[in-house]
Structure 1
């Protein structure tokens, strides 16, 4: 009976460890997505400013 409890505890620890790894990966992915969103926003802002400057210069 004790062996079953110990075996179950080991399996649960492994599951917990894998869940923690998955959570860390998801956190890293969320950070990467956020960084990409910021970069995309900056690129879009830069493109808009550039196109406005071209219009002003051409007028």
Structure 2
């Protein structure tokens, strides 16, 4: 059974990839923006959410 952390990470990765592909194909924004969305939504956001859940569980 997958842990809560894995479910959060997989969910954010799915959203990040969808957003990056949508940004890349649907707009004429700078080329670094899809990479920034992948980094922000796929790496940083899950870390913050999991950290929040961890601190909430211990309190």
Q: Which has the higher contact order (CA 8 A, sep 6+)?
A: 2
Structure-2-length-normalised TM-score: 0.44
Bigger radius of gyration, 1 or 2?
Answer: 1
Structure-1-length-normalised TM-score: 0.44
